[in-house]
Each structure stands twice: as structure tokens, then as C-alpha cells.
């Protein structure tokens, strides 16, 4: 159950998404092979950031391009960052702990080990000065990050909130998952924007998203979540069409931030297919919930393709 | 918009476990800093920290702290766990490293595998289960502002009628990983922690936990709860400058306090006390002073500003709630805590740093500010009710 209530949750616009997933038959993202990485080469501190931050920087770049946003032209005190991570940056924990044990301390590995370091890297690189919050989430709690981001928009604290999350596998994570299931690396950034701001800057296309309690009752396309067993109780009506999730997601992979991934993937897919109205069923074990999504205009081509490596 | 009030306080700190023991130490300016016994410090120049001496077990230390503080806060608020399970209560936890000490023990093969909670959120999930709360807890990890932001989210939940009670906790524990980290950044003092003193040379680390029970004012009144003060405002923003250093123009902290006061609808002249982040590092204290001078103008020279880090140590993600708890107690008991070890001010900032000894004073509005790695700033405003 989300910590923050969904009652009176105002709709928000998703104006851009960035998504990094591993190649098929792999669980690992090789961020250094990403086409977008050269964008950061001139930033001296980029070399000091860990792969977690690099993944999120690249994904943010994809999302901002997708949203048609040039941050320099916007009021950066009104842009926020709300990220969610399940395991933070364990690879940096391991690096720094190794340096402690070897008596050869690496200060960068220490500051990189903070769960908030990817959000900080993005804030510093783009000069984003609004609230910058990182949640630790398990059990699909990214919904809380989305709700808090929605609150920032609704209360007019921010015009834009970059929300998303990541998983970078490390020795510790692999040990942990060895007994449970096989997780895949991933990084997602969703550009959430207030409808007023979006209309002001005249950006198209975008998807208006509303979070609703319960399963969808209206007609439309339904995107179930990434895990097949969560919604076995859901019986679609005649005017609801289930989109075969196999066609848009890498089957056999499990992600630690499935809500972000299913929302981002579905938005991209729906825009590409000119789907006006669709529902995304995020994985929730304890309650029924869905994202009601409406695309504002039809378009034939969706720009900002996946940065698959 | 609902008003949020503080009705319960629980504390586990190096200066005392429990609010009375804690407050007595603050009143007397008695430091909880001592020689570290949790791990071997022979290879570090700094050997001291604010270690919680009465709890010696390192296993599951973070949860032990958090649970103890939560239990005390609920007793203080006169809330029974059974009523929490049926009511509309939410749990917010701020922590930088969570159960890192348990991970470190596992990584060094001291503990058997899987004896630790991998995710930071593990602490709040266990707390939520222990309290029998229906709602899952929310864990915030933004380094040293973690629990200040947790307080802000707890406030928002009450304001927006999404909770009657927000239980807001902060916890972080000492271990060699964190100590070595600050050592590697050359942030630790070689003498003693002296916030705002012109000869300051670094911070001293600490550990602890605090929990505040925040309630909707109407809900608290209905059940005749004892009210410490109102949690009136909150703000968070970023410097967007550096990973480990503050913005030396003080712009981020300035904007944060300004927005916090605006959110609370409080004017700068109404502020009776500023509990600064005051780590004792050259850069942090300077940035804070610049921000205070810029925002408060001539009033900056008369408003009391103090830091309790030399008493408690820098408790990382827990410091926000610990310092908020202190401000609530100070409002209730009309007391301004001292900045111990402070001797000589910098020429540019001859503020009232409440040197060495605290003093009795009627407080109407107290603000508490925190800053963190990555340029995170957060501020809360508390007001007498």
C-alpha cells in the first residue's frame, strides 16, 4: 500500500521518458558503450562518478531530449529530482570497503556510495536547484516517489520533476539474489511536468497520467506489469484489449523498479502506436491500482529511442 | 490546510538515551564525545566520536536504536500501538547508511551471510511491522538531510489530510566505513569540534536515532495529547555545485531558509533561535554564516545561533530529527542550547553563537537547518502553540 494516499491525486503529464535496459540475453548494462556517454566527457567530475550515477546521467539525458527540454532555458530552482532505489550504490560500498581493508582510502568511492549520489550528479551537472530526494524502496514502492513528485507539481513547488530509479548489480547484490531470483540492471527517468508548464512551453506529445484505485473499468488498451503473476485476478471486459507484454518487454528478466519501467515502456509504446487511451497495471501485491494514461495528440513517430547497447 | 504538532519525542544519542537524559546533557553542555570502542581506530588521527555507550552490541545496531527511540516517542505521546494499527498513521524514516554496520560485518566475514537487511528500507519495514501499521513506511536517503526531509514529508502528509499521525524517525550508526570515509575527505577534526570558531578544523562523527510523533492538531486536541510545538514549515533545495562541499556563496542555504520561513508564514524578525547544521568544518560553517547574514540582515547579529554537534557528534542522516527534537524541547522549556568549545568568532560573523553555556529564553519560533553531500539543503520551522 502506498505510504501517501492516492486520494485527490492530481493528474500530471509525462513529457519524456528515458530508459536503459540491458541487451537481450544479458542482465548487465555496459554504460560505457552508450552513445550518449560522450555528451558528458567534457565534464571533469564525470570520471569520478560511479556507474550508478553514469547510468542515471545518460538516462536523464535521453529523457530530457525526449521531452524537448533545454534545462538552461528554464528556471532551475523549479525543477526537482525524486529518485527511488532499492539497493543504492553497493558497488561503491564494495570499492570503498576494499580501500579501507587495503589501507588505501578512495574518497570518491565514499561519496559515491551514498544512495543520493546519482541524484546529486544530475543536480550538479544540469544545475538543478529544486528539491533533490532519493527514496529507498522495495516491494514496488516507487509509487511513493511518483506520488511525492506529483505533490511537488500540485503544490506548485516545481514545474518539472525528474523521477526514476536504477539498479546496478554488484557482488553484494548478486550474492543476495543468487538465492532468490535473477535481477537485471536498469535505469529509468520519467519527466513529470505540470500541465500548465507544458502548455506554456508548447511541447508535444505528452501523456496525461492519473493514478486510480482499483482495476480499469473503462475501455482501452491495458498494459499489465512486467511480472506475469501479479494481476491474475484481473479479468478484462470486452472493450479492453490486453497488449501482449512480451512484445514490449524483455521476458525472463526481473527489475527492481518495475513500476517505473512498466510506465515508461508503456508510454513509449503507446505513443509509437498512436494509442490514445491506455492503462498500466503496476505490480502491487497488496492493492489494486492502475495508471490511467491519455495521449494528448496522435503522432506517427516517437522520438528519443531506447539507448540500447 | 491542517496544522501539524509535535506530541512525542524519543531519543538515543551519545549524550543520553531518553529525552530527559539528553536534555540534561544539552543544558549542562556535557559532551557525549568519547574514545571509540566500536572498531579499531589506531590508523586514524581522530580517535573519538559521539558513540552511544549504553548500547554496546554492534549487531543490528541501527534497528535497536530506531526501535528504542520509536517506543519512547510513542509512550511520550501516549499512543498505544493497538490504536496505531487501526488509525491513519504513516511512518517516515531518514537514514544515510541504514544497517551498513551489519553489511560491513558480513562483508568482512564477521557475521554469517544474509544476517543483514540489504536495502536501507529494511529498517522502516521492520519498524512498521513492529508497530502493526497498515501502511508501509517510506525511507529517505539524502545523506545528512535525510531525516529533515522525512520530517517535511511527514508534515505534508498531515497538512494534506493523508495522515492523522506521522511517525518520523532518523537513524545512523557509527562504523569504520563511515569513519574512514570522513577521514579520507579530511573532514574530521584533529583537535575538537568547534563550530563557528575561527580556529575550527573539522567535524566529529556521532551516532544515534530520534523519533518525533507529529499529529494533526485537531486529532491531538481530541485525544488531549500534550503538545510541544507546531511543525510550521519545511523547505528543501539543492546547491547544484559540488559533491562534497557546500556552495560557498551560501545561496543554497539562503534559499532553503527563506523558502522554509515563507512556507511557515514567519518573518525573519520572528525567529527566536536558529539551530544551525554547524558541523565545525571550515566550508560548511562559512556558507551557513553567509546565508544567515544575507537573509537576516542586521537581525543576524542578535538572533541566537548554535550547533549541538560538539555535544552529540555529527549523526549523519539522524541529525535532522535529533535537532528538531531538541528545538521542540527548547521551545517547551524556554532554553537556548550552547555551542560548546566555541571561543573566538570570525571577524565577518560576530553572531550570537551562545558560546559554551546555554541560557534561559522564551522561544517562539525555532528553525533547524541541515546540509548534506551533493549540495542538499533542508530546513524546518517550529513554532510555539
pLDDT in tens, B50-84: 999 999 888 889 999 999 999 999 999 999 988 88
Select the residue from A1, A2, A3, A180 to test the B interface by mutation, using most B Cβ atoms within 10 A. Answer: A3
Least trusted range by pLDDT, from A279-288, B22-31, B102-111: A279-288
The overall average pLDDT reported for chain A is: 82
Least trusted range by pLDDT, from A230-234, A293-297, B167-171, B350-354: A230-234
**Residues of chain A contacting B134 with CB distance shorter than 8 Å:** 1
Asked if the Cβ–Cβ distance from B185 to A107 is below 8 Å, we say yes
- Which of A4-18, A60-74, A252-266 is modeled with the greatest confidence? A60-74
User: Residue B125: is its pLDDT beyond 90?
Assistant: no
Residue A260: predicted pLDDT: 87
User: Residue A72: is its pLDDT beyond 60?
Assistant: yes
Residue A303: predicted pLDDT: 43
Asked if the Cβ–Cβ distance from B139 to A2 is below 8 Å, we say no
- Determine contact, residues B344/B202, Cβ cutoff 8 Å: no
Angle CA(B124)–CA(B137)–CA(A252) in degrees, nearest 5?
A: 90
What is the mean predicted confidence (pLDDT) over B250-256? 97
Residue A244: predicted pLDDT: 62
User: Residue A136: is its pLDDT beyond 50?
Assistant: yes
Asked if the Cβ–Cβ distance from A105 to B140 is below 8 Å, we say no
What is the mean predicted confidence (pLDDT) over A158-163? 96
Select the residue from A105, A123, A133, A137 to test the B interface by mutation, using most B Cβ atoms within 10 A. Answer: A133
* 3-state DSSP percent of chain A in helix, strand and coil, to 5: 35, 20, 45
A306 — pLDDT class (breaks 50, 70, 90):
very low
Asked if the Cβ–Cβ distance from B103 to A93 is below 8 Å, we say yes
Phi, psi of B121 (to 5 degrees): -70, -15
Residue B337: predicted pLDDT: 98
* DSSP helix/strand/coil, B5: strand
Least trusted range by pLDDT, from A153-167, A171-185, B22-36: A171-185
The length of chain B is 385
Select the residue from B240, B253, B263 to test the A interface by mutation, using most A Cβ atoms within 10 A. Answer: B240
Residue A2: predicted pLDDT: 41
User: Residue B116: is its pLDDT beyond 70?
Assistant: no
A194 — pLDDT class (breaks 50, 70, 90):
very high
- Determine contact, residues B97/B118, Cβ cutoff 8 Å: no
Asked if the Cβ–Cβ distance from A88 to B120 is below 8 Å, we say yes
What is the mean predicted confidence (pLDDT) over A65-69? 93
**Residues of chain B contacting A48 with CB distance shorter than 8 Å:** 243
Residue A137: predicted pLDDT: 77
Q: How large a percentage of chain B has pLDDT more than 70?
A: 98
Give the model confidence (pLDDT) of B172-200 as tens digits.
999 999 999 999 999 999 999 999 999 99
What is the mean predicted confidence (pLDDT) over B85-106? 88
Angle at which helix A142-154 crosses helix A258-272, to 10 degrees, equals 70
Chains A–B, number of C-beta pairs less than 8 Å apart: 172
According to DSSP, the residues that pair with A163 across neighbouring strands are A82, A190
Residues 6+ apart with CB under 8 A from B300: B292, B293, B351
**Residues of chain B contacting A141 with CB distance shorter than 8 Å:** 121, 136, 138
> Which residue from B43, B237, B376 is facing A116, i.e. has the nearest CB?
B376
Residue B248: predicted pLDDT: 93
**Higher pLDDT, residue A180 or A193:** A193
Residue A277: predicted pLDDT: 85
Cα–Cα distance, B285 to A266 (Å, whole number): 48
Phi, psi of B131 (to 5 degrees): -85, -10
User: Residue B324: is its pLDDT beyond 90?
Assistant: yes
What is the mean predicted confidence (pLDDT) over A259-281? 83
Residue A291: predicted pLDDT: 86
What is the mean predicted confidence (pLDDT) over A22-49? 88
- Which of A5-9, B97-101, B218-222 is modeled with the greatest confidence? B218-222
User: Residue A251: is its pLDDT beyond 90?
Assistant: no
Give the model confidence (pLDDT) of A199-222 as tens digits.
888 887 788 998 887 788 888 788
Q: How large a percentage of chain A has pLDDT more than 90?
A: 38
Residue B1: predicted pLDDT: 85
Residues 6+ apart with CB under 8 A from A81: A119, A122, A123, A128, A130, A131, A132, A133, A161, A162, A163, B238
Residue B343: predicted pLDDT: 96
What is the mean predicted confidence (pLDDT) over B268-288? 97
Q: Which residues of B are catalytic?
A: 144, 277, 314
**Residues of chain B contacting A133 with CB distance shorter than 8 Å:** 140, 142, 149, 236
Residue with cell 541566537: B304
Asked if the Cβ–Cβ distance from B252 to A129 is below 8 Å, we say yes
Residue B14: predicted pLDDT: 98
Asked if the Cβ–Cβ distance from A45 to B243 is below 8 Å, we say yes
**Residues of chain B contacting A114 with CB distance shorter than 8 Å:** 96, 141, 143, 373-374
User: Residue A172: is its pLDDT beyond 90?
Assistant: no
User: Residue B151: is its pLDDT beyond 90?
Assistant: yes
Residue A241: predicted pLDDT: 79
**Residues of chain B contacting A120 with CB distance shorter than 8 Å:** 238, 243, 373-376
> Which residue from A97, A121, A132 is facing B142, i.e. has the nearest CB?
A132
Cα–Cα distance, B75 to B71 (Å, whole number): 6
User: Residue A45: is its pLDDT beyond 60?
Assistant: yes
Q: Nearest-CA residue of chain B relative to A93?
A: B177
Asked if the Cβ–Cβ distance from A117 to B375 is below 8 Å, we say no
Cα–Cα distance, B340 to B309 (Å, whole number): 9
B110 — pLDDT class (breaks 50, 70, 90):
confident
B316 — pLDDT class (breaks 50, 70, 90):
very high
According to DSSP, the residues that pair with B376 across neighbouring strands are B238, B372
Amino acid at each position: 500500500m502506498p505510504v501517501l494516499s492516492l486520494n485527490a491525486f492530481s493528474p500530471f503529464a509525462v513529457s519524456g521518458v528515458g530508459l536503459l535496459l540491458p541487451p537481450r540475453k544479458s542482465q548487465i548494462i555496459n554504460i560505457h558503450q552508450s552513445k550518449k556517454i560522450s555528451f558528458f566527457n567534457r565534464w571533469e567530475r564525470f570520471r569520478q562518478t560511479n556507474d550508478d550515477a553514469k547510468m542515471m546521467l545518460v538516462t536523464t539525458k535521453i529523457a530530457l531530449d525526449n521531452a524537448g527540454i533545454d534545462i538552461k532555458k528554464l528556471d532551475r530552482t523549479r525543477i526537482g529530482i525524486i529518485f527511488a532505489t532499492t539497493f543504492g550504490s553497493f558497488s561503491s560500498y564494495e570499492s570503498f570497503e576494499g580501500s579501507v581493508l587495503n589501507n588505501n582510502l578512495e574518497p570518491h568511492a565514499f561519496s559515491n556510495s551514498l544512495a543520493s549520489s546519482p541524484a546529486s550528479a544530475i543536480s550538479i551537472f544540469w544545475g538543478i536547484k529544486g528539491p533533490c530526494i532519493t527514496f529507498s524502496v522495495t516491494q514496488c514502492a516507487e509509487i511513493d516517489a511518483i506520488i511525492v513528485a506529483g505533490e511537488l507539481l500540485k503544490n506548485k513547488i516545481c514545474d518539472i520533476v525528474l523521477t526514476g530509479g536504477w539498479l546496478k548489480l554488484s557482488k553484494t547484490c548478486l550474492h543476495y539474489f543468487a538465492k532468490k531470483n535473477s535481477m537485471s540492471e536498469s535505469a529509468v527517468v520519467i519527466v513529470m511536468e505540470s500541465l500548465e508548464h507544458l502548455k506554456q512551453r508548447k511541447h508535444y506529445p505528452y501523456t496525461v497520467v492519473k493514478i486510480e484505485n482499483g482495476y480499469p473499468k473503462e475501455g482501452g488498451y491495458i498494459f499489465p506489469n512486467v511480472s506475469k503473476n501479479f494481476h491474475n485476478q484481473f479479468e478484462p471486459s470486452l472493450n479492453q484489449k490486453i497488449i501482449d507484454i512480451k512484445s514490449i518487454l524483455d521476458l525472463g528478466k526481473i527489475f527492481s523498479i518495475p513500476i517505473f519501467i512498466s510506465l515508461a515502456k508503456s508510454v513509449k509504446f503507446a505513443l509509437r502506436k498512436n494509442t490514445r487511451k491506455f492503462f498500466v497495471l503496476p505490480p502491487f501485491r497488496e492493492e489494486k491500482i492502475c495508471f490511467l494514461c491519455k495521449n494528448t495528440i496522435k503522432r506517427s513517430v516517437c522520438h528519443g529511442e531506447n539507448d540500447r547497447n | 490546510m491542517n496544522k501539524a504538532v509535535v506530541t512525542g519525542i524519543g531519543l538515543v544519542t551519545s549524550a543520553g538515551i531518553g529525552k530527559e537524559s539528553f536534555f540534561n546533557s544539552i543544558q549542562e553542555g556535557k559532551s557525549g564525545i568519547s574514545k571509540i570502542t566500536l572498531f579499531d581506530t589506531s590508523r586514524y588521527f581522530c580517535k573519538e566520536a559521539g558513540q552511544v555507550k549504553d548500547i554496546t552490541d554492534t549487531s543490528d545496531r541501527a534497528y535497536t536504536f530506531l526501535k528504542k527511540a520509536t517506543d519512547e516517542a510513542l509512550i511520550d505521546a501516549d499512543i498505544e500501538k493497538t490504536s496505531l494499527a487501526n488509525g491513519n498513521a504513516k511512518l517516515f524514516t531518514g537514514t544515510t547508511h541504514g544497517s551498513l554496520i551489519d553489511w560491513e560485518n558480513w562483508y568482512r566475514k564477521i557475521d554469517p551471510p544474509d544476517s543483514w537487511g540489504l536495502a536501507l528500507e529494511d529498517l522502516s519495514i521492520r519498524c512498521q511491522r513492529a508497530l502493526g501499521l497498515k501502511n508501509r513506511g517510506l525511507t529517505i536517503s539524502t545523506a545528512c538531510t535525510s531525516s529533515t526531509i522525512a520530517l517535511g514529508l511527514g508534515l505534508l502528509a498531515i497538512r494534506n489530510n493523508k495522515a492523522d499521525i506521522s511517525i518520523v524517525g532518523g537513524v545512523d550508526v557509527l562504523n569504520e566505513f563511515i569513519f574512514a570515509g570522513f577521514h579520507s575527505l579530511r573532514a574530521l577534526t584533529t583537535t575538537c569540534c568547534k563550530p563557528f570558531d575561527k580556529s575550527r578544523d573539522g567535524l566529529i562523527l556521532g551516532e544515534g536515532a530520534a523519533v518525533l510523533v507529529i499529529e494533526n492538531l485537531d486529532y491531538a486536541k481530541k485525544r488531549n495529547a500534550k503538545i510541544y510545538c507546531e511543525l510550521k514549515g519545511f523547505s528543501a533545495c539543492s546547491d547544484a555545485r559540488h559533491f562534497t562541499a557546500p556552495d560557498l556563496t551560501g545561496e543554497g542555504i539562503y534559499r532553503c531558509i527563506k523558502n522554509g520561513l515563507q512556507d511557515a508564514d514567519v518573518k525573519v524578525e520572528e525567529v527566536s533561535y536558529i539551530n544551525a547544521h554547524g558541523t565545525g568544518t571550515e566550508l560548511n560553517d562559512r556558507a551557513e554564516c553567509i546565508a544567515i547574514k544575507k537573509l537576516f540582515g542586521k537581525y543576524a547579529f542578535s538572533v541566537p545561533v548554535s550547533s549541538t554537534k560538539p555535544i552529540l557528534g555529527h549523526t549523519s542522516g539522524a541529525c535532522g530529527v535529533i535537532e528538531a527534537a531538541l528545538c521542540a524541547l527548547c521551545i517547551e522549556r524556554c532554553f537556548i542550547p550552547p555551542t560548546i568549545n566555541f571561543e573566538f568568532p570570525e571577524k565577518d560573523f560576530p553572531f550570537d553563537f551562545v558560546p559554551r553555556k546555554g541560557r534561559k529564553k522564551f522561544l517562539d519560533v525555532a528553525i533547524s537547518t541541515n546540509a548534506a553531500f551533493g549540495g542538499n539543503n533542508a530546513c524546518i520551522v517550529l513554532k510555539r502553540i
